[in-house]
Structure 1
Amino acid sequence: MSQRYETERAVLMDDVKQVLKDAEVLYKAAVDDGTQEGKILKEKLKAQLTKAQEQYAHLESNVVEKTRAAASNTNDWVHEKPYHAMGVAAVAGLLLGAFLSRCGR
């Protein structure tokens, strides 16, 4: 799953980079001049932006779905094994306390 997430993230970042490149070209071409080239660049920029927004929405929904699943699994585990959960919380608290006490010196 992590590999799939990284792949989707890389594709999204490439699309965002392409949108920025197209926006720079559009800016340099002075879109307001009314030329056919300016209109084509504007349409291309809009298409790239729409694609990037769709991919971002898809990636965001995947992240939300995975987070909810992880929270649900954690909740189930805590209810099934409360003493294990308290032990994990205690160890995490001890480690955090030790780390913070060393950083404070």
Structure 2
Amino acid sequence: MAGKYEAERAALMDDVKQLLKDAEALYQAAADDGTKEGKALKEKLKAQLERAQRQYADMEEAVIERTRQAAHHTDDLVHSKPYHAMGIAALVGLVVGALLCRGR
């Protein structure tokens, strides 16, 4: 389950990163028609693109930090109460086994 979450998170982060790269390429390729409106629009786009890149970097750091904290907390919990963890794992295994056998 954790592997699936990590794969989905990585895919989402890659998609966002590619979107930002595409937007930057579009900005670089944008034709400047020389009008004041065109220049203002290009500067506004540049500012928004930079802000989006900063927000992406902040979001990525926050997600990584929260994932590390959750893993550390789970590890501490399992080490502090190993019998509870084994009991929960056994119960989950029993329920999954019962559901699988019930389907036959």
TM range (shorter): 0.5 to 0.7
Q: Whose relative contact order is higher, 1 or 2, with alpha carbons under 8 Å and at least 6 apart?
A: 1
Matched residues in 1 for 2:36 and 2:85: separation?
65
Name the TM-score, length of structure 1 as normaliser.
0.57
Identity, % of aligned positions: 66
SS at 1:45 equivalent:
helix
Q: CA deviation at 1:31?
A: 3.5
- Cα separation, partners in 2 of 1:42 and 1:76, compared to 1, 3 Å: same
Structure 1 stretches of 4+ moved >6 Å: none
Q: Which residue of 2 aligns with 1:93?
A: 93
Does residue 76 of structure 1 match 2:72?
Answer: no
Matched residues in 2 for 1:87 and 1:43: separation?
60
Note if contact 2:78-2:85 (Cα within 8 Å) is conserved in structure 1: yes
Q: CA deviation at 1:98?
A: 4.3
Map 1:43-62 → 2, pairs under 5 A: 43-62=43-62
User: What is the one-letter code of the residue matched to 2:56?
Assistant: Y
Specify every segment of 5 or more residues in structure 1 that has no aligned partner in the other structure, as ranges: 1-22
